[in-house]
Amino acid sequence: MEKKKGTMEISIKIEGEPWTEALDKAFKTANAKVKIDGFRKGKAPKDIFIKKYGKEALYADAADICLQDAYSKMLEKLGDEQIVAQPQISLNQIDDKGIEFNFKLTLKPDVKLGKYKGLKTKKAKVEVTEKEVKEAIDHMRSHYAENIVKEGAIEEGDIAIIDFEGFKDGVAFEGGKGENYSLKIGSGTFIPGFEEQLIGLKPGDEKEINITFPEDYHSEDLKGQPVVFKVKVHEVKEVSIPEIDDEFFKDLGLEGIDTIEALEKQIKENIQAQKETTAENEYIDGLLEEAASHIEVEIPDEMIEEELQRMLKQYEENIKMQGITLEQFYQFTNSDEQALKDQMKPEAINRIKFRLMLEEIAKVENIDLDDKKAEEEANRLAEKYQMEKDEFLDNFGGLDMVKYDYKMRQAIEVLKQDK
């Protein structure tokens, strides 16, 4: 066992009977896959197999069989040291007598805390204005709006059903045509200047609209270029927003909400809760950043790489929910994995720094949870998330994760202390 600053190397030998058993298992697996002349498949004696393929043909499978045992023995030798990245595993030696694994380990770095109480960061005060309440109610009303066909001319806020086709220098360009397209005037959906020129038109009207594509438009052939759109209006609809009346409250279906006063009260409470949550999260972020600016720690590259891999996987899952693969994302953004990791690296370092700092605060402040209290905490969290306790523990990562989560939350509470 050799220890250097931030790393440790541990060698583990597997020999004698355990190694012989591993070779026997490897032989049975390999023999079942091959056909040797004179024997049915999988029935050749071991000495015949070895004569044909050599002992070395069994070493890789036997090594895999022994790896878990070697890993357990390595953890025993590790003692109280903590590893913070996947070990780099290599072989020092392998022959018919035994195997020796070498584990190169990245150790948890030492953290020197600075000031972490009585910090300058303070929580922002939260206030809900009448304007915010009114805007929220207007937004709710818009959900129940109806589009009613009108005979008059197009006005701002109306919906126009149109055919259109774009021409550059008299030639139709790709992607510039649409039929029975529903366009809300004022939405900013189309190129600047297009929607405004529809105002005043009526069903049946046709018009040529002259506009210039923006300089930052995504198509090289069209950016900054003047074009003509031939447009025909089929139908015009006006958006009818419901009044706040009994019918509106009925559509809302909110228990106990049947007056404007009750609705305003409920909306104000909702906005207040949202703002409180945002303010609390920003407060905690500020505390973490301030406290972390006072610590001293050397974060190993291997630890950063593992955090980046976790973030990359999470990012891939997030964009997959939007129907985009990571490969498509790289194509759209003209980037690659390394560019994305470079972009994520500052955040990865901060996450690691915050985690190490909170772990050290929990250690210094003697924050811990015994099994009994951890069970109680698991019950509380399971009830909070409306899950059975066993189901919650399976999803959360077990009782050890409950203990860890508790320590991290309590360490954050320490950051909030004035002194």
- Chain centroid, CA 390 distance in Å: 25
> Looking up tokens 């069209």, which residue turns up?
222
- The DSSP output letter for 259 is S
CA–CA separation, 240 vs 142, rounded Å? 9
Residues 6 or more apart whose CB falls under 8 angstroms from that of 284 comprise 412, 415
> 416 phi and psi, to 5 degrees?
-75, -10
**Rounded Cα gap, residues 356 and 345, in angstroms:** 16
> Nearest-CA neighbor of 112 among 258, 320, 298?
298
State both tokens at 87.
């070990």
Q: Specify the pTM.
A: 0.73
Per-residue pLDDT tens, the chain, 419 aa: give them: 555 568 899 999 999 999 999 999 999 999 888 888 888 887 888 888 998 899 999 999 999 999 999 999 999 999 888 999 999 999 999 998 999 999 999 999 999 999 999 999 999 999 999 999 999 999 888 888 889 999 899 999 999 999 999 999 999 998 889 999 999 999 888 889 999 999 999 999 999 999 999 988 888 889 899 999 999 999 999 988 888 888 888 878 888 888 899 899 999 999 999 999 999 999 999 999 999 999 999 999 999 999 999 999 999 999 999 889 999 999 888 889 999 999 999 999 999 999 999 999 999 999 999 999 999 999 999 999 999 999 999 999 999 999 999 999 999 999 999 87
Output the pLDDT for position 18: 95
* 146 beta partners: 240
- As a whole number of angstroms, the distance between CA 297 and CA 5 comes to 13
- What is the dihedral sign for C-alpha 161, 166, 172, 176? negative
Beta-bridge partner residues of 102: 11, 90
pLDDT at 17: 94
Smallest CA-to-CA distance from 114 within 289, 282, 280, 284 is with 289
Buried b (16+ CB within 10 A) or exposed e, 351-363: bbbbbbbbbbbbe
pLDDT of residue 1: 56
Which letter, b or e, does each residue of 285-321 get, where b requires 16 or more Cβ atoms within 10 Å of its Cβ? ebbbebbbeebebebbebbbbbbbeebbeeeeeeeee
Six-digit token pair at 246?
Answer: 């009994």
* pLDDT at residue number 255: 85
Q: State both tokens at 314.
A: 């999470």
* ∠ Cα 198 200 205 (to 5°): 70
Are 402 and 378 spatial neighbours (Cβ–Cβ below 8 Å)? Answer: yes
> How many CB atoms neighbour CB 30 within 10 A?
17
**How far is the C-alpha of 372 from the C-alpha of 31, rounded, in Å?**
51
Q: Label residue 233 left, alpha or beta by phi (over 0 means left) and psi (-120 to 50 means alpha).
A: beta
Residues in the chain: 419
Q: What is the DSSP string of 133-188?
A: HHHHHHHHHHHT-EEEEESS---TT-EEEEEEEEEETTEEEEEEEEEEEEEETTS-
Q: How many CB atoms lie within 10 A of CB 366?
A: 6
- Alpha-carbon gap, residue 101 to 90, rounded angstroms: 6
Q: Count how many Cα atoms sit within 13 Å of the Cα of residue 106 in the half-sphere of its side chain.
A: 14
Q: What domains can you pick out in the chain, each with its CATH number?
A: 2-106 (3.30.70.1050), 146-240 (3.10.50.40), 260-415 (1.10.3120.10)
Element (H, E) at 349: helix 337-364
Q: Are strands 88-94 and 98-106 parallel, antiparallel or unpaired?
A: antiparallel
pLDDT in tens, 41-74: 878 888 889 988 999 999 999 999 999 999 999 9
Compute the distance between CA of residue 313 and CA of residue 315 in angstroms, rounded to an integer: 5
Q: Collapsing DSSP states into helix, strand and coil, what is residue 61? A: helix
DSSP at 79: T
Pairing of strands 206-212, 226-240: antiparallel
Per-residue pLDDT, 2 = 55
